[in-house]
């Protein structure tokens, strides 16, 4: 599963400097590179599949309750 790319509206949060925003962006790009080169290539374990299925079931139950 590929992570989604989140677009920014181009505005900095109040009080955040341009340098900090650029540092944060660079950190995000570096983390994405590491993720895509290691974690993203690994298969999903049975334990994680089970957790995802349980989560989906819980979401369905919550939707039915509304």
Q: In the structure encoding, which two tokens stand for residue 38, read together? A: 């290691």
The domain total for the chain is 1
Q: Is residue 32 part of a domain?
A: yes
Residue-wise pLDDT for 3-47, tens only, equals 445 445 555 555 567 777 778 889 999 998 988 888 778 888 999
Q: Is residue 13 part of a domain?
A: no
Answer whether 32's CB lies under 8 Å from 3's CB.
yes
Q: Is residue 50 part of a domain?
A: yes
Indicate the pLDDT class of residue 61, thresholds 50, 70 and 90: very high
Q: Is residue 58 part of a domain?
A: yes
Q: Is residue 1 part of a domain?
A: no
Q: Is residue 14 part of a domain?
A: no
- Domain limits at 32? 25-63
Burial 24-43 (b: 16+ CB within 10 A, else e): eeeeeeeeeeeeeeeeeeee
**4 DSSP 8-state letter:** P
Q: Is residue 9 part of a domain?
A: no
Answer whether 3's CB lies under 8 Å from 34's CB.
no
Q: What is the pLDDT of residue 55?
A: 97
Q: What is the pTM of this model?
A: 0.41
- Entry field: residues in the chain: 66
Q: What is the pLDDT of residue 9?
A: 54
């Amino acid at each position: 599963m590929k992570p989604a790319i989140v677009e920014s509206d181009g505005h900095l949060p109040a009080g955040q400097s341009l340098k900090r925003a650029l540092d944060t962006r660079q950190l995000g790009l570096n983390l994405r590179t590491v993720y895509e080169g290691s974690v993203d290539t690994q298969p999903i374990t049975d334990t994680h599949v089970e957790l995802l299925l349980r989560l989906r079931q819980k979401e369905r139950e919550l939707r039915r309750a509304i």
